[in-house]
Structure 1
Amino acid sequence: MKKYWQNFSLEQSLGFILHRTLTAIRAVARYEFQNEASDVTIDQWIILCALWEKEGRSQTELSEKTYKDRATVTRMLDLLEKKAYFSSAIFRGQKDI
């Protein structure tokens, strides 16, 4: 194991390369969102896309589909409803709300 760490290069590690790539993609997306005068974040947009794709998804389904924890999804849905992007009526009658 010691030999591996002697030759380790952070800049060449897959995890670091993926992190840099994701950071660059998010920066471009954030720039595009700002240019469009959008009042939603990238993460909120992902939630909206998941809802548009299949209206009536439960929060648990949204959490699984978007790889976000349920607390984060709940906060985003609250913010998006305040911005009038959807009505919580689509969730009525679901157990996990």
Structure 2
Amino acid sequence: MRDQFTAEGAIVLDNAFGYWVARVYLASRAEMYRRFRAHGVEITPEQWMVLVRLWEQEGVTQTHLAGRTFRDVPTMSRILALMERDGLVARREDPTDRRARLVYLTARGRHLQKALSSEARAMVGELLSGIPEDDLLVTRRTLQRILANIEPER
């Protein structure tokens, strides 16, 4: 991976680690849209991450969700506003803190779990097809170490 720079200091973009991470992200994002759209669901990957976190635990604050999905609070507020508009979540005042709002799934948001999770599992299966498990584990550990180098205090 260090071959992304020539001896003269030029960048070889096709050999750059970040280039391939970005390409995989963009391609998988487009594939997710396509697959979810086939189920009649128009959600962004950011909204998908919120749904997954709420399937794990609902009734949490917007601030908690922002932290668990790596978004800032204003961005999370906009994501939730769109999800609320689309009938996926409901925000309610926190009875213990009137300034905070708790986020809950609606019946529609809960109902999507089975179909979308199955579709996500199928997509990941296809994305990882033919790649040995050991290679995948090394890739995940490597990405985690790179992130730790970028964000050492986390």
Q: Same fold (TM over 0.5)?
A: yes
TM-score by length of 1: 0.81
Residue 81 of structure 2 is matched in structure 1 by 78
Matches within 5 A, 1:1-97: 3=7, 5-6=9-10, 8-89=11-92, 91-93=93-95, 94=97, 95-97=99-101
Identity level (%): 28
Q: CA deviation at 1:32?
A: 0.5
Runs of 4+ in 1 over 6 A off after TM superposition: none
Aligned match of 2:110: none
Q: Structure 1 unaligned runs (5+)?
A: none
Question: Secondary structure, in 3 states, of the residue corresponding to 1:64?
Answer: helix
Which blocks of at least 5 consecutive residues in structure 2 are unaligned? Answer: 1-5, 102-154
RMSD between superposed Cα atoms in Å: 2.2
Rounded Cα–Cα distance in structure 1 between residues aligned with 2:56 and 2:68 = 11
Structure number with higher relative contact order (C-alpha < 8 Å, ≥ 6 residues apart):
1
Aligned mates of 2:8, 2:74 — CA distance in 1: 39
Normalising by structure 2, we get a TM-score of 0.54
**Greater share of residues in helix:** 1
